[in-house]
Amino acid sequence: MTRSPDQEAPIGSTPVARMESLLAAVDGVVRDAHVQQRFGGLGAAFSAALGSWIEPFAVALREVVPTAHSQDAARAVADLARLCGEGAGQAMRSMVGADPSAGVAGAGAGPDYDALAGSIDDAFRGFWSTPEFDRVRRAAAAAVLDWLERDPAAASEIARALDSPPPFGRDALGGSMPPAKPVLRDGNVTLTAFPAAGQSRASVLASVLVVPGFAADSRLFDLDPERSVVRTLARHGVEAWRLDWGRGDETDRRRTVADQLERIDRVVDAMREAANGRPPALAGHFHGGLLALLYCLRYPGKAGALVTVSTPVRFTADDDGFAGWLRACDGERIVDVFGNVPGPLVATLAAASSPMHWCGGGFFTLLGDPDAAAAARIARFEEARRFPPAFPGETFRGLYRALYRDDAFAADGGAVIDGHRYALAGLDTPLLNVFAREDRIVPPGASTPLAAWAGAAPESNRAHPGGHHDLLIGGPAHAELLPGIAAWLVAQARRG
C-alpha cells in the first residue's frame, strides 16, 4: 500500500480528525466519496475500512497481467463489490438514518467509534446472510479459482505478492520488537523461552507452551514489553515457551495435522526433559488452541493442563462469519490452487466477517489519546495480523474437511482427521476455555460448547470483555486475564 504526500498530515485535534488521519496513514485514500460526503467523518472511516479488508488481495491482483481467463473472474468480483457497496449503504442508513451529521462528532467526547463499528458490522452481517449475497460471493470465489486453476502462473504471482508485507511496524511508526533468542530449532520451527520472573529453572513450578495458529504471526504473542503474552505470563511466575512455525515453504505444504502434532510432541518432550520430567501446559489462540486441543486428545497424559483461547469447536453457528466465508470460498479448492494457503488470504476472510471492527479496531484505541508508543504497538499489530505466515496446505485441508465443512465435533462429538478420530469426550487434561464476549471471528457460540462436550465443569469457560485480539494485546487482558491464567496454571501444577 502506497501513501501520497498529503497522507502524512499530523494527527488531528478532534475525534473525527484523528480517525481520518489515522486511517489515511495506514489504509490509503478513502475510495467512496459519496459515503464520505453524506456521512462525514464516520462515513470516511467506514469507507476506508471496507476498502482495506480486501486491500492485500487487491494489491496482489494488480501484480498479475490480465488474461482471457481472468475476465469472468473480474466480472464476478465486480458483482460482489457492487453488493458489498449496497450492504455498506444499508448498514450506514441503519445507524444514522437520513441525517448526514448523525453519529459524527457531537458535544463532549464525541462518538463511541468502537460501539459504532460493532453495530455497523452487525447490520452489514445481516445483509451478508441473505441468499442473494451468498450466491454472488460463491460465484465470485468459484470464478477466481476457475481462473487460477487455468493460470498457475497468476496464482503464483498472487501468492508472492501476498507474502510481501508492507513495513507497518518497522518504518511507519517506530521500529520492531527486538526478537528473543530461540533455544531450540526443528526444521523451520523455533522455540523461544521466557524464564519465570524471580525463579531459577529448578524452582519453576509451572511452564506453558504457547502455540500460535497457522496463518497467525507468533509476534502477536510478544508485541512489545507491555503487551507481550509470554512476558506477562513470565512476570506472574510461569515459564513461557513460544512456538514459531516459520513462514511456510514447499515442505510445509505436505505436512498433515498428524505431522504438526508430532512436531509439538517433540517440543513437549524437550520441555519435559528441561524440567526433570514435569509436564508442561499447552495454551493456544484460535487455530493454535485447536492444535493444542487436538494434541491433548492424540497424546493423552503428556500435557499438564490446557488453555484454549478464542478456539472454535462448533463451525456452523449463525454468527460465525469466518467459517461461512471459508465454506463459500471452498477451502479445499484454495489448497488445490495455492498449495500453502497465503496467510493474508486467511486474514482477509477473517476481516470479511467483521470489516469495520477488524480494520478500525486497533486505531479506535488511539482516538482518545494518540500516544506515540501506542501508535507503534498498533502498527506492529497491524502488520502481524494482516500479513501472517502461510497455512500449510494439507494441514488446512484436514481441518477444513472435518471441521469447517462437516462440523464433526457438533455432529457426533468427534472428528476424523488424517484417519485418526479425535473425540472431545476423551479429553483427560484440565481445561480452561477463554472466550471474548464481542469476538466476531470466533463468536462465543463457536467456542463455549467445548467445556460441555469435553465433560469439563461449566466454570471451565471463562468470559472476557472485548474482541478476538483483545485477549492477546488488550490492556485489561494483561492486567486481569493473563495473570488469572498464570494463577490457574500454577494451581494445576501444584495439583499435578
User: Domain boundaries in the chain?
Assistant: 9-162, 176-317+391-495
Joined together, the cell numbers standing for residue 153 give: 502462473
CA–CA distance, 399 with 406 (Å, rounded to integer): 10
User: Which H/E stretch holds residue 80?
Assistant: helix 70-96
From first to last of its 496 residues, the chain has per-residue pLDDT tens of 232 333 333 333 333 333 333 334 333 333 333 334 443 444 444 444 444 445 555 555 555 556 666 777 777 777 776 777 676 666 666 655 433 334 433 334 445 556 666 777 777 777 777 888 889 889 989 988 998 899 888 888 888 877 765 544 343 334 455 566 677 787 888 899 999 987 776 678 899 999 999 888 888 999 888 889 999 999 999 999 999 998 878 888 999 999 999 999 999 999 999 888 899 999 999 999 999 999 999 999 999 999 999 999 999 877 788 898 899 999 999 999 999 999 888 988 888 787 766 655 555 554 444 566 776 777 778 778 878 889 999 999 999 999 999 999 997 778 999 999 999 999 999 999 999 998 888 999 999 999 999 999 888 999 999 888 889 988 899 999 999 999 999 999 998 7
Q: How many CA atoms lie within 13 A of 68 on its CB side?
A: 0
Question: Which residues are CB-neighbours of 94 under 8 A, at least 6 positions away?
Answer: 120, 123
Instruction: List, in sequence order, every residue forming a beta bridge with 408; answer none if it has no partner.
Output: none
Residue pair 242/191 in contact (Cβ under 8 Å)? The answer is yes
Instruction: Classify 254 as helix, strand or coil.
Output: coil
One-letter amino acid identity for 39? F
Question: Which residues are CB-neighbours of 65 under 8 A, at least 6 positions away?
Answer: 154
CA–CA distance, 481 with 459 (Å, rounded to integer): 15
Instruction: List, in sequence order, every residue forming a beta bridge with 423; answer none if it has no partner.
Output: 414
CA–CA distance, 468 with 491 (Å, rounded to integer): 26
485-488: long-range pairs with CB below 8 Å, 24+: 485/233, 485/283, 485/307, 485/432, 485/434, 486/206, 486/232, 486/233, 486/236, 486/237, 486/238, 487/236, 488/305, 488/307, 488/432
- How many residues in total does the chain contain? 496
Q: Which of 1, 4, 343 is nearest to 168 (CA)?
A: 1
Parallel, antiparallel or unpaired: strands 206-211 and 182-186: unpaired
Instruction: List, in sequence order, every residue forming a beta bridge with 415; answer none if it has no partner.
Output: 422
CA–CA distance, 371 with 367 (Å, rounded to integer): 9
pTM value is: 0.83
Joined together, the cell numbers standing for residue 316 give: 456452523
CA–CA distance, 409 with 400 (Å, rounded to integer): 13
pLDDT at 113: 58
Q: What is the CATH number of domain 176-317+391-495?
A: 3.40.50.1820
Q: At what angle do helices 131-150 and 331-338 cross, to 10 degrees?
A: 20
Place of cell 492485500: 56
CA–CA distance, 66 with 31 (Å, rounded to integer): 23
CA–CA distance, 53 with 306 (Å, rounded to integer): 33
Burial of 110 (0-12, 13-18, 19+ CB in 10 A): middle
Question: Which residues are CB-neighbours of 296 under 8 A, at least 6 positions away?
Answer: 282, 302, 303, 306, 427, 428, 429
pLDDT at 106: 39
User: Which H/E stretch holds residue 346?
Assistant: helix 343-352
Place of cell 523461544: 192
**Distance (Å) of CA 43 to CA 92, 127, 382:** 8, 18, 22
Residue pair 241/266 in contact (Cβ under 8 Å)? The answer is no
Parallel, antiparallel or unpaired: strands 420-423 and 414-417: antiparallel
Within 10 A of 370 (CB to CB), how many other CB atoms are there? Answer: 17
Q: Give me Rg for the CA atoms of the chain.
A: 22
Residue pair 280/193 in contact (Cβ under 8 Å)? The answer is no
Question: Which residues are CB-neighbours of 268 under 8 A, at least 6 positions away?
Answer: 209, 279, 280, 282, 295, 299, 302, 303
Instruction: Classify 269 as helix, strand or coil.
Output: helix
Dihedral pair phi/psi, residue 206, rounded to 5°? -125, 135
pLDDT at 365: 52
